[in-house]
């Protein structure tokens, strides 16, 4: 984490308030705290914000404000030490079929880490993850809190279509794939939880600040777990 | 309602001002690539700014009208347009009668054209926009690019005393295809020599360019401290340098976050000129400060005229190459493993 956040110009219509250059829960908490502050007490000229792992991207209208003016407006918001406002108080229990055809890279990672696949599954499914950012593709959830012993560099060649629901590891990041799409990460499992549905309100189930808890299921439990997920979504969104 | 039938689609999609406010959920704004041409098309047709139009890429496209006459205007890339064999000028309204065909030729010196309709197309906006976003599942009337045989519903023309045309605006820029950029946000991931190299190279817009990103062909740029950054937000115009050193410019259908260092960002004032540089066309970048870029925008706004495009060098398209590369600057293939995030 930086001593002082950096203001970086992303062209003439956006700026990034960068709190660090690593994946770190406290850095992300600062990002989300600033995001909440800007959405609760809007600043003139800001049109849209995008929280990421380590920075808040702020889109603005350069005819209403300027890079310099916005920095002045944002500075007092950065003084806060209270990071408690970020919790969404939502925790999602997310079933995952690990390995096999749903997690074709699980075994390779286990071999590389010199552990059994059961140990790998345990390490991945016994922690709480925080949704740090949504992005790249609609609803794609980047999670913080991966056991650093499971970090695995991205593949040199991305594969064209990771199925919806793929749980993957890329570097120190782990993620939940929302819609089918290209992926250079390692696929370790798949969940029936439908985190993105354009016709649902809200279309994007997860919010930055939510907690994710994975639990392993068997392939034959897929249908039953799908129903359980649907019930959980209905209950939470009521 | 009259109907516009798609005879050959080229690579065409419905695009308007775009879908904003959802980037935090991973949904890019989409919308017209050339917003100046979108605005002009809608002005000519008497529509509100940001009304849905047909955006068509550089390949030829043909449409046929049935029912009551409709009124259209075509703006954007320089190209031949004809109505049932009669030549029809760009930047001018035209009446299309029952059975007549609107033929849009190959783009000559540009990429994207906009067909606007008096009274507008019949679409149902989803979250404030009818623009196509295949991956997110948005778009109206279709959640995919136009196909042969599609019908678009169009409000019939009213009686106008005469057709309208736009005064051809002169370019506010003297040098052709020099596009201004603001360095950063990760220019510190490159040696000063590499930034000089980026600014001194005559790049060529790559054949793999599309609505998601334009690739830049030229030297590969070396990273000073690796190419893996912790993924952060992208904007329209972010210039990322991929792992192998290839620059690419993220555009309307980009991924909302990216994991490669971004050396610079296009200045908004030059954005529409940039997206009209054809595949194979040359481009050079000039660094300006963010203050200067914002001052240019204010000047432009105070004149009340959007940045006017310089048509650039006329490049005859290699259609075979474009078709086989399956790109041609238009609809994004949602499953294409484009090199942006990973």
CB of B35 less than 8 A from some CB of A: no
B213 within 8 A of B327, measured Cβ to Cβ: no
CB of A57 less than 8 A from some CB of B: yes
Shortest distance between the Cα of B300 and any Cα of chain A, in A, equals 10
Instruction: Write out the two tokens for B100.
Output: 């007549």
Per-domain residue ranges for chain A? 6-80, 91-237
Same domain, B11 and B75: yes
- What pLDDT, on a 0 to 100 scale, did the predictor assign at position B304? 66
Shortest distance between the Cα of A140 and any Cα of chain B, in A, equals 7
User: Rounded distance, CA B319 to CA B278, Å?
Assistant: 12
User: Rounded distance, CA A186 to CA A116, Å?
Assistant: 17
- In DSSP terms, A96 is beta-bridged to A216
B156 within 8 A of B70, measured Cβ to Cβ: yes
- Of B250, B63, B257, B52, nearest to B139 by C-alpha is B52
| pLDDT by position in tens, chain B (length 342) | 999 999 999 999 999 999 999 999 999 999 999 999 999 999 999 999 999 999 999 999 999 999 999 999 999 999 999 999 999 999 999 999 999 999 999 999 899 999 999 989 999 999 999 999 999 999 999 999 999 999 999 999 999 999 999 875 544 344 568 999 999 999 999 999 999 999 999 999 999 899 999 999 999 999 998 887 888 999 999 999 988 899 999 999 999 998 889 999 999 999 999 999 999 999 999 999 999 999 999 998 888 654 333 333 333 344 444 444 433 333 333 333 343 343
Is position B310 within any domain?
A: no
Cα dihedral sign for B127, B130, B135, B137? positive
Contacts with A171 from chain B: Cβ below 8 Å: 228
Contact A12 B293 (CB under 8 A): yes
A/B interface, count of CB pairs below 8 Å: 170
Same domain, B113 and B189: no
Same domain, B165 and B182: no
Contacts with B262 from chain A: Cβ below 8 Å: 10
A132 within 8 A of A176, measured Cβ to Cβ: no
Same domain, B48 and B196: no
Is position B39 within any domain?
A: yes
Same domain, B26 and B163: yes
Instruction: Write out the two tokens for A4.
Output: 């002082």
Contacts with B137 from chain A: Cβ below 8 Å: 138, 179, 198-199
Q: What is the mean pLDDT of chain A?
A: 94
Same domain, B224 and B281: yes
A63 to chain B: closest CA residue? B298
A73 within 8 A of A43, measured Cβ to Cβ: yes
B53 within 8 A of B14, measured Cβ to Cβ: yes
Q: How far is CA A60 from the centre of its chain?
A: 24
Same domain, B82 and B16: yes
pLDDT in tens, A62-106: 999 999 999 999 999 998 778 877 777 789 999 999 999 999 999
- What pLDDT, on a 0 to 100 scale, did the predictor assign at position B170? 41
On the CB side of A2, CA atoms within 13 Å amount to 14
Same domain, B193 and B252: yes
| B6-34 per-residue burial string, b: 16 or more CB within 10 A, e: under 16 | beebbbbbbbbbbbbebbbbbbbbbbbbb
Contacts with A48 from chain B: Cβ below 8 Å: 20-21, 23-24
Chain B, residues 182-221, CB within 8 A of chain A, namely 182, 184-185
- What pLDDT, on a 0 to 100 scale, did the predictor assign at position A154? 82
Last residue of a domain, one of B102, B136, B169: B169
pLDDT in tens, A1-47: 898 999 999 999 999 999 999 999 899 999 999 999 999 999 999 99
pLDDT at A174 over 50: yes
Shortest CB distance from A47 goes to which of B20, B230, B255?
B20
Same domain, B199 and B281: yes
Shortest distance between the Cα of A234 and any Cα of chain B, in A, equals 20
| A57-96 per-residue burial string, b: 16 or more CB within 10 A, e: under 16 | bbbbebeebbbeebeeebeeeeeeeeeeebeeeeebebbb
pTM: 0.90
- Helix %, strand %, coil % for chain B, to 5? 15, 30, 55
A133 to chain B: closest CA residue? B24
DSSP tag of B84: T
Helix extents (H) in B230-318? 268-275, 290-303
Last residue of a domain, one of B169, B191, B214: B169
| Coil, strand or helix at B45 | helix
Is position B155 within any domain?
A: yes
Shortest CB distance from B341 goes to which of A62, A136, A203?
A136
- What pLDDT, on a 0 to 100 scale, did the predictor assign at position B330? 33
Shortest distance between the Cα of B260 and any Cα of chain A, in A, equals 12
pLDDT at A129 over 50: yes
B41 within 8 A of B49, measured Cβ to Cβ: no
B293: phi then psi, degrees, rounded to nearest 5: -60, -40
Number of domains in chain B: 3
Contacts with B185 from chain A: Cβ below 8 Å: 8-10, 16, 18
CB of A49 less than 8 A from some CB of B: yes
Shortest CB distance from B233 goes to which of A55, A155, A170?
A55
Contact A62 B297 (CB under 8 A): yes
A38 within 8 A of A46, measured Cβ to Cβ: yes
* CATH superfamily entry for domain A91-237: Cyclophilin-like (2.40.100.10)
Q: pLDDT band at A113, cuts 50/70/90?
A: very high
Same domain, B289 and B220: yes
Residue range(s) defining the domain that contains residue B325: 315-342
CB of A113 less than 8 A from some CB of B: no
Same domain, B103 and B48: yes
CATH class of A6-80: alpha beta
Is position B248 within any domain?
A: yes
Shortest CB distance from B23 goes to which of A12, A48, A185?
A48
Instruction: Write out the two tokens for B1.
Output: 């309602």
Is position B307 within any domain?
A: no
- What pLDDT, on a 0 to 100 scale, did the predictor assign at position B216? 97
pLDDT at A172 over 80: yes
DSSP assignment string, A44-113: TTEEEEEE-SSEEEEEE-TTT--HHHHHHHHGGGG-----GGG----EEEEEEEESGGG-TTHHHHHHHH
CB of A161 less than 8 A from some CB of B: yes
- The answer to whether the A6-80 and A91-237 domains have the same CATH topology is no
Shortest distance between the Cα of B157 and any Cα of chain A, in A, equals 34
């Amino acid at each position: 984490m930086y001593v002082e956040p950096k203001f970086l110009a992303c062209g003439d219509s956006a700026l990034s308030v960068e709190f660090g250059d690593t994946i770190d829960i406290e850095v992300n908490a600062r990002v989300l705290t600033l995001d909440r502050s800007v959405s609760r007490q809007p600043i003139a000229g800001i049109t849209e914000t995008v929280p990421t792992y380590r920075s808040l991207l702020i889109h603005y209208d350069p005819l209403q404000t300027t890079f310099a003016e916005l920095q002045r407006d944002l500075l007092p918001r950065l003084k806060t030490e209270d990071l408690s406002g970020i919790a969404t108080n939502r925790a999602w229990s997310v079933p995952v079929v690990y390995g096999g055809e749903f997690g074709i890279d699980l075994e390779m990672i286990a071999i590389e880490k010199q552990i059994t696949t059961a140990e790998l599954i345990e390490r991945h499914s016994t922690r709480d993850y925080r949704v740090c950012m949504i992005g790249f593709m609609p609803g794609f959830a980047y999670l913080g809190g991966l056991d650093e012993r499971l970090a695995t560099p991205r593949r040199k060649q991305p594969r064209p279509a990771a199925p919806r629901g793929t749980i993957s590891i890329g570097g120190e990041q782990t993620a939940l794939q929302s819609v089918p799409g290209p992926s250079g990460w390692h696929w370790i499992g798949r969940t029936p939880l439908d985190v993105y549905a354009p016709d649902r309100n809200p279309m994007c189930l997860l919010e930055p600040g939510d907690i994710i808890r994975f639990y392993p299921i068997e392939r034959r439990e897929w249908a039953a777990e799908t129903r359980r997920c649907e019930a959980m979504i209905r209950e939470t969104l009521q | 309602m009259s109907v516009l039938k798609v005879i050959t689609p080229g690579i065409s999609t419905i695009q308007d001002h775009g879908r904003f406010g959802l980037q935090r959920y991973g949904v890019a704004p989409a919308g017209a690539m050339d917003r100046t041409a979108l605005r002009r098309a809608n002005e000519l047709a008497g529509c509100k700014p940001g009304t849905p139009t047909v955006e068509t890429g550089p390949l030829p496209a043909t449409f046929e009208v049935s029912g009551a006459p409709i009124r259209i205007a075509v703006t954007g890339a320089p190209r031949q347009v004809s109505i049932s064999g009669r030549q029809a000028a760009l930047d001018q309204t035209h009446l299309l009668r029952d059975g007549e065909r609107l033929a849009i030729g190959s783009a000559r010196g540009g990429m994207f054209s906009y067909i606007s309709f008096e009274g507008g197309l019949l679409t149902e906006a989803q979250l404030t926009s009818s623009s196509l976003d295949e991956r997110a599942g948005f778009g109206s009337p279709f959640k995919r690019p136009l196909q042969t045989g599609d019908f678009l519903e169009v409000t019939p023309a009213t009686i106008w005393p005469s057709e309208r045309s736009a005064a051809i605006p002169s370019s506010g820029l003297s040098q052709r295809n020099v596009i201004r950029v603001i360095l950063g946000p990760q220019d510190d991931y490159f040696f000063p020599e590499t930034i000089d190299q980026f600014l001194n190279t005559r790049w060529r817009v790559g054949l793999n360019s599309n609505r998601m990103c334009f690739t830049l062909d030229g030297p590969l740029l070396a990273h000073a401290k690796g190419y893996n950054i912790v993924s952060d937000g992208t904007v329209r115009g972010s210039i990322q340098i991929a792992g192998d050193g290839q620059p690419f410019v993220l555009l309307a259908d980009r991924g909302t976050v990216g994991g490669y260092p971004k050396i610079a960002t296009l200045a908004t004032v030059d954005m529409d000129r940039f997206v009209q540089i054809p595949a194979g066309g040359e481009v050079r970048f000039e660094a300006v400060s963010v203050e200067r870029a914002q001052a240019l925008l204010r000047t432009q706004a105070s004149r009340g005229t959007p940045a006017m495009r310089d048509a650039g060098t006329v490049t005859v398209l290699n259609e075979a190459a474009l078709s086989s590369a399956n790109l041609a600057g238009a609809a994004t293939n949602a499953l294409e493993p484009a090199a942006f995030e990973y």
